[in-house]
Structure formats: structure tokens, C-alpha cells
Amino acid sequence: MAANKKSDKPRNNVAAARGKSTGGSFWNPRRLWETFKSLAGTIALFLVLRAFLVEAYRIPTGSMIPTLLVGDWLFVNKLAYGPHIPFTNITLPGYSEPKRGDVVVFESPYQADEAEAGRDPRLTLVKRLVGMPGDTLYMRQGVLYVNGLAQRQGFTSADQFMGDPNETNPLFDWQKRIGLTSSRFGAAPAQPTHDNWGPFVVPLKHYWMMGDNRYSSKDSRYWGFVPRENVRGRPLFVYYSYVPSEESDRPVSFITDIRWRRIGHVIR
């Protein structure tokens, strides 16, 4: 009897062991499930890192010039002051507390004027913390006083826009309810203005935030104190920066007009 001949066709032992051919294996339910689990795990890891450790943030306005420029992209340390659990009012403990002089990322208190304009009334903002709980704050002729001591504003630059120091705004009127009628620092003005307001005391578990670019910053003067639970993190450094298109004479400025010297800039 003649011996059986071996097949000349190469045998795929792995496929044979699984009882499946290699053809069309991408649509195999098992492979699809494994791919889905890998993608889901990657997305879950990204969301955890973003929510609890580090998040990217873009600077859209000039309120913090020259510390931060329009077109800067930052990494924000969310663990420093305690990560906020999304969709809740819970903030976990951090390894430090905000202190006067820090640049802080936070959720704005409710801004009714933004809601009326159809915009987000609880924007995520970045400002400098200038008033701690229990501090007595006031401003005279553009000079900020904390507990009676004038604060040297070393963050501004000579080429910044200077607005009207006597500007009044309906958004300042909330200050009238908390202004001290008498104190060792004098009485609060009847009508707060851009450069003349207070004194008043910062409540417990709240902060007073202001932009370094004082005449181009909508800050605590307009919308009030920031609750501790609104704090979201501390900026680390600039990882990317470019001149915005409205300020650049180059096409596609986010590629052609990169601020290379800003990359890696540590934020203080």
C-alpha cells in the first residue's frame, strides 16, 4: 500500500489549534473583544491621569501677561491642591495648600452676565492668588494693600495696556454689601471703582484672585471670592506656545510662529 503523502500546503499550527483559519481574523469576535478592552483601558487610564494628576490647559486671553501669554499651552498639576472628582462636589486631599502669590487654576464662581450672553458662567480660569482667608484687602490708586501693607506688583510690564482707573461697572456693586464702613484702614468707597475698592475681609475657605495684567483682567473684583472647592490645580510649565493668528503676520501661525523660548518655561 502506498504511503500517504504530506500536504505541500504550509500548516498554520496556531490557527489550527484554535480551529480557525487566518483569513478574516480581524472580524473575529474574540479579537474584536480584545481590541475593545485595550482601547477602553487606554481611555480609562487617560481619563484618570487627566482628572487626578495632570491636565493640559490653553491660555485664551491676556489677563496674566507677562507671566502667561495668549497661545501658551500649560501642564497643570492637579494633585498639588487635591484632585477634584468629576461630576461631584468632592475634592480629595492634596500634598500642599494654595498660598498667596501662587498662580492657580480654578473654576470661576457663577457669572450671571456670562450666562445672559449665552456663554459658560463657570469658566475654568487661571489667575494669581493675592488674598487668603482672613486677609483684609483694599486698593487705592491701583495699589493693592493686604492687611495694611502695600503689595509691590512685580508681574506687570511697561507695555501693558493702562485702562481707566476710575472705571465703574455694575459688576462691582456686589462689593457694597461687604465693604467695611469703618476700619483702621478707612472706610470702603460708596462706589467701588477699578482701582479703588475695599477694605473687606476674605471669608474662611475662600480666596481673592487677580490677573497680573490688571487692566485686562476680569477677576475677583467683578465676580467675587473663589471657594476652596473650586481650586483645580497649579500650572507647572509651558509645553507649547505660538503667536495667535490675530497677532501674527505668518500663515498657520501655530506651526510657523512658534515661541520656542517659551517652551519649558516654568510658571511662577
127 flagged as catalytic:
yes
Q: How far apart are CA 22 and CA 156, in angstroms?
A: 67
174, with CB counted inside 10 A (0-12, 13-18, 19+), is middle
63 flagged as catalytic:
yes
User: How many helices (H) and strands (E) in the chain?
Assistant: 5, 11
Query: Sheet holding 149-150: strands in order across?
Result: 149-150, 143-146, 136-140, 197-201
User: Of 78, 108, 127, 218, which one is the catalytic site residue?
Assistant: 127
Query: Sheet holding 206-210: strands in order across?
Result: 54-58, 72-77, 231-241, 103-107, 124-131, 206-210, 226-227
8, with CB counted inside 10 A (0-12, 13-18, 19+), is exposed
205, with CB counted inside 10 A (0-12, 13-18, 19+), is exposed
User: Of 5, 20, 38, 63, which one is the catalytic site residue?
Assistant: 63
Q: Which residues are catalytic?
A: 63, 127
